[in-house]
Structure 1
């Protein structure tokens, strides 16, 4: 399996498992505070890991032009998105919310295609359409008298839109240190939402609940985000979102099997439609002759067919390493994703 596919799938599993756990926590504290603490747990935990890895504080190494993209991702993905999710969970079951979050991949791909001109094959488009239909089924009123509350579904859809914008902005900086990106997003976004909640009169939960909240945030948001950024680097935005679509299945399974939530017919119809969409994504292959234009950047790499260059320093020739390097002009054909080396026109 392609390691970037593995990163995307594992990120999806961790995030998917966090949704029903967040649903369980949403009754213990206000939504804004919960959103803040989840991301704060992510940021603090990842910052400690980065300090240990680098044996102290190290500069991010990000270029000046990358900071606006990261700041935008912090706002949409770390501040607005989690708050919308927590408000949505107050009036939506954990299983339904988990499947509705599949809309994130649909919106992620649409923004990638329309705004950032990422390639879209017919198979991917059909899969996205199937998942969108599943989201509509889940959010449709249970009767025609308007008795079902739309608030939860609307808030969840808004969260998906925020994260879709976040995913596309994060892709612009995905060649940088994934641990720094995820840690800084957690500290800044989580800190802002936590301070905002406390200023509005919220109080911190008790010790055990606080520890559980921070732990869920660290694993479900922090570790998951690091893996997601790595997947963006190798797969591109739309396809990373496609693989990430298995997250709702993990969340829905936990909500049903662990928390014993009921599953109406609409749930299973939506599950079938979304399952079809995920299958179409996972079985997609993209092959054609393409041209690599000259470019210079820095990221961790091995000397594969895209990295054949000299080194101004001693290197054994084995294993992955990181340094600034230049890619020459060349043309070839192979199966590929729109990763950081394949952002070309079609």
Structure 2
């Protein structure tokens, strides 16, 4: 269940970014602020490697391998470059209420791609829970009848959501790797591109005080959140992690009540009830059946549990958890499990 709490913690941190960002708006454009969140957080994660106490933890994680590079490059392009660009294009051509509703498509697209393209297991309980969580997000963002305007705007926002869904599924492919390294690369590349686009469009350079505030919020609410999200992907699979992460808008709304004394609305109460029902369905899931592990060779952080009974080479690290190349032999057994990096078998 540790993956569940990591995914929920990622949602809480990311949800807090909205009310905290509200306090930083006014000194620069939203595009520059979003870019600063990514860029400063990527720099912060790189600096983590210089902290002596963190080095043992970082060394215990598996570095990205050459075969991971295409997946990560695709995630950066779709999630860090195309997604934000399409969102900006869409926001210029549609209203905020319509865009808020459309942004709920990210969770839907993430789950659909995981289930039908990447063949992740799904059952009716998980599908219903996902539907309730997305419905809660829709109720939360509903501001009356949305004004759709011309078709190009909504299509661009929907395309941005599809890009982020592709990003989520591609990131799952590298989730066995070091989450700090993954989050740092995505932050540095996406932040540089987004700030560059905003400045090229005529945005004014931000003042130093804003950069400092964006660095703090970006590091905690974006990059630490992404690190936890990657760990959730590793342990839960894409669709379930995406479902828990869809709880972020509700966290942001509740935080806004406390920070900015916004009113409690019927839509907030209804959204909370729907999301709570969806989370309950996911938290009480028990997926248990006889399954076969095909032979597999990979690298990731692990301890010697029932799935890791391999022998060690003389140069392999001692102590647990540790990381090294290891091979899983053919294994058939039954136990409760999620579609983690060891349980992506067909059903």
TM-score higher than 0.5: yes
The offset of 1:91, in angstroms, is 6.3
Deviation at 1:139, TM superposition (A): 5.3
Distance 1:273 1:159, change over 3 A: farther
Aligned to 2:293: 292
Q: 1:117 to 1:26 in 2, by over 3 A?
A: farther
Say whether residues 1:67 and 2:37 are aligned partners. Answer: no
Residue matched to 1:124: 126
Conserved 8 A contact 1:101-1:248: no
The offset of 1:310, in angstroms, is: 0.7
Distance in 2, Cα, partners of 1:316 & 1:191: 37
- Cα distance in 2 for residues equivalent to 1:285 and 1:255: 34
The 1:92–1:150 alpha-carbon spacing in structure 2 relative to 1, beyond 3 Å, is farther
- What does the per-residue CA deviation read over 1:292-321, in whole Å, with 9 as the maximum and x for residues that have no partner? 000100111000000001111277975211
What residue in structure 1 maps to residue 191 of structure 2? 190
Indicate how the Cα distance of structure 1 residues 159 and 253 shifts in structure 2: closer, same or farther if over 3 A, else same: farther
Is the 8 Å Cα contact of residues 109 and 237 (structure 1) preserved in structure 2?
A: yes
Q: Which runs of 5+ in 1 are unaligned?
A: none
- Partner residue in 1 for 2:27: 28
Count of paired positions = 339
SS at match of 1:306: coil
Change (3 A) 1:221 1:275: same
* 8 Å CA contact 2:86, 2:159 repeated in 1: yes
Whole-Å separation in 1 of the counterparts to 2:82 and 2:330:
41
Distance 1:234 1:41 in 2: 28
Q: Which residue of 1 aligns with 2:2?
A: 3
Match of 1:38 in 2: 37
> 2 CA distance for matches of 1:6 and 1:269?
23
The DSSP-based 3-state class of the residue aligned with 1:25 is coil
Contact 1:91/1:151, CA 8 A, preserved across alignment: no
1:91-240 alignment, distance < 5 Å: 92=96, 103-138=105-140, 142-143=144-145, 146=147, 159-240=160-241
1:4–1:162 distance in 2 versus 1, CA, 3 Å: same
Give the superposed CA RMSD.
Answer: 3.3
Task: Please say if residues 111 and 242 of structure 2, whose CA atoms lie closer than 8 Å, have aligned partners that are also in contact.
Answer: yes
Question: Could you tell me how far apart the structure 1 residues matched to 2:39 and 2:174 are?
Answer: 21
Contact 2:140 2:250 in 1 (8 A): no
Q: Are the counterparts in 2 of residues 242 and 282 from structure 1 also a CA contact under 8 Å?
A: no
For the residues of structure 1 that align with 2:199 and 2:145, how far apart are their CA atoms?
39
- Cα offset, 1:260, TM superposition: 2.3
The secondary structure found in structure 2 opposite 1:341 is: coil
Kindly report which structure 2 residues correspond to 1:222-301, keeping only aligned pairs within 5 A, or say none.
222-301=223-302
**Structure 2, unaligned stretches of length 5 or more?**
none
Instruction: Give the drift of 1:66.
Output: 1.9
Could you tell me how far 1:153 is from its partner in structure 2?
8.3
The TM-score normalised by the length of structure 2 is 0.85
Quick check: 242-251 or 12-21, which moved more?
A: 242-251
Contact 2:148 2:154 in 1 (8 A): no
User: C-alpha displacement at 1:285, in angstroms?
Assistant: 1.4
Task: Give the drift of 1:135.
Answer: 4.1
Closer, same or farther: CA 103–147 of 1 in aligned 2, 3 Å: closer
Q: In structure 2, what is the equivalent of residue 12 of structure 1? A: 11
Q: Partners in 2 of 1:302 and 1:79 — Cα distance?
A: 36
Deviations 1:66-112 (A, max 9, x none): 2121111112222344456678699659xx95x98655333321110
Instruction: Give the superposition deviation at 1:13.
Output: 1.3
Instruction: Decide whether the 8 Å contact of 1:174 with 1:233 is kept in 2.
Output: yes
| 8 Å CA contact retained: 2:95, 2:148 | no
- Find the residue that maps to 1:20 and give its secondary structure: helix
For residues 235-292 of structure 1, the C-alpha deviation after alignment (integer angstroms, 9 at most, x for no partner) is 1111112222332222111112211234543443333323322221222111111000
Counterparts in 2 of 1:24 and 1:192: CA distance versus 1, 3 Å? same
